[in-house]
Amino acid sequence: MVPRQFGWRIGDAIEPARWRDGNAVVSDFTHDGSASRVLRLGDSESFAPGSYQFIVRVWRPGWYLRDEMTLLPGDVVSDRRFASLVIRQRFKQRLGYSNGIVLTPQIAGRPLAHRPYFRFVNNFPKGTDVFAALDPDALPKGLVSQRAAIYVIRHKTAADWSGSNALADISGAGMTAAPKLVPIVPGCVNWNTTLVWPNPQVPGKYDIAIDFGNNAQNPQDFAADGTLDPPLDMIDGYVRVGFYVTEDPGLPGPYGGSIGQHDYALGTVQVPSTDAGPVPTDSLPLTATVRYPAQTAGVDAQCAGGTFPLIVVMHGNSGYDNSYEGYNYLLDHLASQGFIAMSIYAPVGVMIETRARAILAHLGIMAQNNMSPGLFQGHIDLNNLGICGHSRGGEAVVRAARINAAEGLGWHIQAGVSIAPTDYHHYGDAGIPLLVIYGSNDGDVAGTWPDRTCFNIYDETGRPRSFVFVYGATHDYFNTVWAPTALSVESDIAPSDVPHLISQTDHENVAKGYLTAFMQAHLLGRPEQMEYFAANLKPSALSAIQIHTSHQEPGVRLLDNFEQHDPGSNTLGGAVTGSSLSNLGEDALHALDNHSPHVTGGGDIAWQSAAGIYLSRVPNASKDVSGFEVLAFRVTQKYGSPQNPPNQAQDLFVRLTDGNGHSRALRASTFTDLPYPYVRGYTDLIKSALKSVRIPLTSFAIANLGQQDVDLTNIQSVSFEFDANSTGEIEVDDIEFSL
Amino acid sequence: MARNTLVLTHYEAEMVLVPEGPNDAKLVQALRVIVFGPHFPQRAIEPELLVGDLKAHGVSITREQSAIRGYFAHPPPDGGRVRVRYGDSLEGEVSEMFSQARIRRLPRGCGKG
């Protein structure tokens, strides 16, 4: 039995959980394989509270690897990502209360222009207003007060709460106290939305507490008491963090003024040049440039105190022998944000295997540097490694992660980023969280299906996975060495495209902002930064650039992945029907639309009437979706369809209906736009590119005037209604309930 | 046809000895075709060199990017078009057709023993 770990890989250290007496929770038993066997480990009091998984190893007496405390290829893990056992602390021990539980609803967020009028979020970039919304349909039982006081407080630890339940508001000027006294208005969340912290300037973790004070029925008698008193008072936060005020990941970080630089060239090694075996080989010079948080700026300056995650960047192919120097802007930025970032060399012309082996070779060098006296000794957090690549290097990221797993190398690669990746080999699942960044006007990996679209790398990898599609971006502008010759090398940039390209600086800001946010989320344990991929946050420098994101989590309930190629039923077996539609098809997306860059199945829905409806039924066994956070799907306008007016955004309503006949429809564009495909000079390279629409499920259940609340434990159907525009044609994939 | 045209000027063909087998222990004869042009870009897309419908293997662009070379196990038949292409993005064709008579043979004594 082991503490829960996210993403087990071969070679990971096994550190058993401990009994109360300190001994490791390891149990041997014999099994003849004839029947299932139940093994009793102990009762819940025997273990410390926490989340656990189980690892089973089959061994014969005397087998030499019986006590090997790393994960071996034959070991069985109860779950790679999720906890298999949760031991809870007794309620009274945890809270010190015996009269009820603490209500911790989502409260922090931002107003929306249309229904549901409010979106709960957790990430507020510095300077963006923080709003609080009370759902009048979800107030605590026993509440009679028509007033409440809202406190924005610094997030407190469990120990802090044990010490005091006082609420110290910080939402005034200079972090002074300014709690808001608000009325509670029945009927609509829109009337219970309050700007609670304008223009926050201090990054950190915060909670929002609702103090119902003396719970006086007469509003004039209401008095706040400034303490969190369950079960009546509520808090967005408490054990978890309520919300974060964050620095823009695209701006220089705290080490910006003191970045160290170290270069090395350690001779040449032979590495396999293909994935067919150890030979043939390529000669690989081990050359790299490294940037890191330092005590002062400069070459080989002493490293700043502490340990820092490591990110390795692998370039793609070009005629320049110094391609690896083209990401210095990115290395400097990452170092300013607290990463050790390095760009590594590969010879001109080498293919994917050589580049993947280069990534792994340099991880080995840096691990050695972490052990040996010198600049980096003890400063590299080898449990949090990130890999990034551009073009052929982007595909090498997938390959390196797969080699790491297949060969049991044990590198703790926690995230990968592929910028405009090739896909010569269709390696499939990288086995790590992967972000793909791609430009709509890429003139090299330009979009020829199925190998050179960049979307296939996303479609083929596992979850979690994210995609950033940048309108007007090219291939070579992400590398400053390549940029001056980009327009002559990228032959698939048509002359008519050139005026519409975004600048080289924009490309750099895309890489800096999104790569930093992704690595902060996965290497620094900052999940709030995933809102840059899942909730439409955007680095401030890119506000004028059209960027469309996809994001998909593991552990979803997939209503329809459209792989059945049967438009009459969904993946869960529920019936799918259309009414007033001019087309309802299901097939491989590229077969439905030769402008689709995808390698998955999908649905094609066309309508020529505002009465058009697509309805997908949720079978009874799957009707409770209350454990999920969003209804998500991927969607694009079909390029070239006469039903889509050129250069106009499309829209639709998404309706959830429950078993009691209650339903609510929400406009998709309230959450994200459905843009017209990016039009470029070579029309065969125009892509009907899917993007994610992620609608929080609370949006269907919070109080909205004149709207029914949907019972999320009893969902009967999901439908798309096309009364926003009277004609249109879209492609859809992966309708799912998700975290 | 590709979206863009690659300018090619001429080609050369010569028999060479190349290693083969485990540890490259064996030497065999192969045909090397070199195609010249003003510029062969190094891109994400790997270029292909073709004579007729036969694809060369071991294709590489020279360092100064003014030539591209590839290898054939056996000389292609006469009359094939000599082409270089980068997927459907960029493609060019040498004006003269392939001719085995143009192949420069190995010097005497090579490839024996």
pLDDT at residue A98 above 70? no
- Residue range A274-303: mean pLDDT, rounded: 94
- Cα torsion at A467, A508, A538, A501 (round to 10°)? -80
| A interface residues, B as partner, C-beta within 8 Å | 316-320, 348-349, 351, 391-392, 420, 422, 424, 444-446, 448, 451-452, 475, 488-492, 682, 684
A650-679 confidence digits (pLDDT tens): 999 999 999 999 999 999 999 999 999 999
Contacts of B21 (CB under 8 A, 6+ apart): none
A464-497 confidence digits (pLDDT tens): 999 999 999 999 999 999 999 999 999 999 999 9
Among B89, B90, B91, pick the best mutation site for testing chain A contact (most A Cβ within 10 A).
B89
B43 vs A424, A444, A448: nearest CB: A444
A489 vs B43, B60, B87: nearest CB: B43
A393-403 confidence digits (pLDDT tens): 999 999 999 99
A328: left (phi over 0), alpha (psi -120 to 50) or beta: alpha
* Residue A182 Cα distances to A108, A117, A212, A223, A573, angstroms: 15, 18, 10, 12, 48
Beta bridge partners of A58: none
Give the pLDDT confidence score for residue A80 in this predicted structure.
73
Q: What tokens appear for A181 in the block?
A: 């006294």
Give the pLDDT confidence score for residue B22 in this predicted structure.
75
Q: CA angle B99-B105-B110, nearest 5°?
A: 155
Percent of chain B at pLDDT exceeding 90 = 82
CB atoms B45 and A422 under 8 Å = yes
- Residue range B64-73: mean pLDDT, rounded: 96
What residues of B are in contact with residue A456 (Cβ under 8 Å)? none
pLDDT at residue A452 above 90? no
Specify the range with the lowest mean pLDDT, choosing from A16-25, A170-179, A562-571, A697-706. Answer: A16-25
Instruction: Let me know: does A625 contact A726? Beta carbons within 8 Å.
Output: no
3-state secondary structure of B28: strand
CB atoms B41 and A420 under 8 Å = no
State the Cα–Cα distance between residues A320 and A342, nearest whole angstrom.
18
Q: Model confidence at A71, in pLDDT bands (50, 70, 90)?
A: confident
A491 vs B61, B65, B90: nearest CB: B90
Nearest CA in chain A to B86: A444
- Cα torsion at A566, A572, A574, A576 (round to 10°)? -40
Which of B102, B94, B84, B105 has the alpha carbon at shortest distance from B30?
A: B105
Smallest Cα distance from B40 to chain A, Å = 9
pLDDT at residue A275 above 60? yes
Nearest CA in chain A to B23: A279
- Residue range A48-56: mean pLDDT, rounded: 89
What residues of B are in contact with residue A489 (Cβ under 8 Å)? 41-43
User: Mean pLDDT for chain A?
Assistant: 94
Beta bridge partners of A601: A588
Neighbours of A119 (CB within 10 A): 20
pLDDT at residue A92 above 70? no
Tokens 């870009």 label which residue?
A: B41
How buried is B82 (Cβ within 10 angstroms: 0-12 exposed, 13-18 middle, 19+ buried)? buried
Instruction: Let me know: does A109 contact A121? Beta carbons within 8 Å.
Output: yes
The helix (H) or strand (E) run that includes residue A522 is helix A504-523
Sign of CA dihedral A580, A583, A588, A594: negative
Smallest Cα distance from B101 to chain A, Å = 31
Beta bridge partners of A208: A152, A236
Q: Which amino acid is at A587?
A: D
Instruction: Let me know: does A562 contact A732? Beta carbons within 8 Å.
Output: yes
The strand pair at A380-390 and A413-419 is best described as: parallel
Helix axes A392-406, A352-371, angle to 10 degrees: 60
Q: What is the 3-state secondary structure (H, E, C) of A596-650?
A: CCCCCEEEEEEECCCCCEEEEECCHHHCCCCCCCEEEEEEEECCCCCCCCCCCCE
- Residue range A585-603: mean pLDDT, rounded: 97
pLDDT at residue A515 above 80? yes
B3 vs A392, A444, A682: nearest CB: A682
A452 vs B3, B87, B90: nearest CB: B87
Query: How close are the terminal C-alpha atoms of chain B, in Å?
Result: 46
The helix (H) or strand (E) run that includes residue A362 is helix A352-371
State the Cα–Cα distance between residues A17 and A319, nearest whole angstrom.
53
CB atoms B65 and A684 under 8 Å = no
Half-sphere exposure of A154 (CA within 13 A, CB side): 11
State the Cα–Cα distance between residues A396 and A344, nearest whole angstrom.
13
Percent of chain A at pLDDT exceeding 90 = 85
A319 vs B65, B86, B89: nearest CB: B65
CB atoms A491 and B87 under 8 Å = no
Smallest Cα distance from A617 to chain B, Å = 43
* Residue A555 Cα distances to A462, A534, A629, angstroms: 11, 15, 12
* Residue A52 Cα distances to A25, A67, A437, A634, angstroms: 11, 20, 35, 33
- Residue range A57-64: mean pLDDT, rounded: 79
Which of A487, A440, A519, A462 has the alpha carbon at shortest distance from A691?
A: A440
* Residue A422 Cα distances to A60, A141, A273, B67, angstroms: 45, 57, 16, 24
Beta strands in A305-433 (DSSP E): 308-314, 340-344, 380-390, 413-419
* Residue A191 Cα distances to A132, A183, A186, A199, A704, angstroms: 11, 9, 8, 22, 9
State the Cα–Cα distance between residues A690 and A733, nearest whole angstrom.
8
Q: What tokens appear for A27 in the block?
A: 């149990």
Provide the residue count of chain A. 739
Provide the residue count of chain B. 113
What DSSP string runs through A466-480?
Answer: EEEEETT--SGGGST
pLDDT at residue A94 above 80? no
A320-376 confidence digits (pLDDT tens): 999 999 999 999 999 999 999 999 999 999 999 999 999 999 999 999 999 999 999
- Residue range A682-693: mean pLDDT, rounded: 97
Instruction: Let me know: does B79 contact B98? Beta carbons within 8 Å.
Output: yes
Give the pLDDT confidence score for residue A23 in this predicted structure.
87
Tokens 């602390």 label which residue?
A: A89
What residues of A are in contact with residue B86 (Cβ under 8 Å)? 491
A379-424 confidence digits (pLDDT tens): 999 999 999 999 999 999 999 999 999 998 999 999 999 999 999 9
What DSSP string runs through B23-89?
Answer: GG-EEEEEEEEEEE-S-----SSPPEEEETTEEPEEEEE-TTSSEEEEEESSPPPTT--EEEEETTT
Smallest Cα distance from B78 to chain A, Å = 30
State the Cα–Cα distance between residues A416 and A436, nearest whole angstrom.
9
| B interface residues, A as partner, C-beta within 8 Å | 3-4, 41-46, 60-61, 63, 65, 86-90
Q: What tokens appear for A128 in the block?
A: 């963006």
Give the pLDDT confidence score for residue A95 in this predicted structure.
46
The helix (H) or strand (E) run that includes residue A465 is strand A465-470
Among B4, B23, B42, pick the best mutation site for testing chain A contact (most A Cβ within 10 A).
B42
Q: Model confidence at A69, in pLDDT bands (50, 70, 90)?
A: confident
Q: Model confidence at A91, in pLDDT bands (50, 70, 90)?
A: low
CB atoms B42 and A391 under 8 Å = no
A244-267 confidence digits (pLDDT tens): 999 999 999 999 999 999 999 999
3-state secondary structure of B38: coil
Instruction: Let me know: does A285 contact A347? Beta carbons within 8 Å.
Output: yes
CB atoms A491 and B46 under 8 Å = no
Nearest CA in chain B to A319: B42
State the Cα–Cα distance between residues A314 and A478, nearest whole angstrom.
12
The helix (H) or strand (E) run that includes residue B14 is strand B10-20
The strand pair at A601-607 and A583-588 is best described as: antiparallel
Q: What tokens appear for A298 in the block?
A: 């400069």
CB atoms B45 and A684 under 8 Å = no
Q: Model confidence at B112, in pLDDT bands (50, 70, 90)?
A: very low
State the Cα–Cα distance between residues A268 and A286, nearest whole angstrom.
6
